[in-house]
Amino acid sequence: MATSLKVIPVNTQMGDYVRKDVIEPIGTCDYSGFPFSRSDLVKQYEWRGNQLVWTGAIVGRPFVDEPNEQNRPPQIKGDPKALQNPRPFGIETPQGPEAIGNSSPVILEDINFTSEDIPPVLPDFAGQSVSNIDARERLESLHQIKF
């Protein structure tokens, strides 16, 4: 008795995105989770800087996202190099008026902050004029005060 082999189509139970007639490996889309024929799975890319970089995802062709140009930075030219002491032809820089009185340097030792003729008037402290006593007497009077 001869046995007949029943021909079963390959990949009949897998889904809409699997080719039924072809013997081919099957993979799963990382975005949708649907089974796909391996030839219909592609790498997903996105812009990082000025390069397209693989994100690590393998997706079915209907679910591939087009890389968004928004993630791509604009190309900006660098600033031109500056010249030291530029002298444009035909342009003269205007000379401003000289400041009067600021031409000589000021030495702080030459400045007299108080008049030697009139000593500064200091307030009375404990009934004594503070202006007429020296530093030692001031300290002694401070130590005598009890708070």
Residue 16: what pLDDT? 78
User: What's the pLDDT at 99?
Assistant: 62
List 26's β-bridge partners, or say none.
Answer: 37
What is the pLDDT at residue 64?
Answer: 93
pLDDT given for residue 109 in this prediction = 67
Average pLDDT of adjacent 10-residue blocks, the chain of 147 residues: 51 70 84 88 91 93 90 82 78 66 63 61 61 73 70
- pLDDT of 135 reads 74
User: What pLDDT, on a 0 to 100 scale, did the predictor assign at position 55?
Assistant: 93
Contact 26, 46 (CB under 8 A): no
**pTM above 0.85?**
no
pLDDT at 94: 66
- HEC string for 92-119: CCCCCCCCCCCCCCCCHHHCCCCCCCCC
For residue 59 the two structure tokens come to: 């997706």
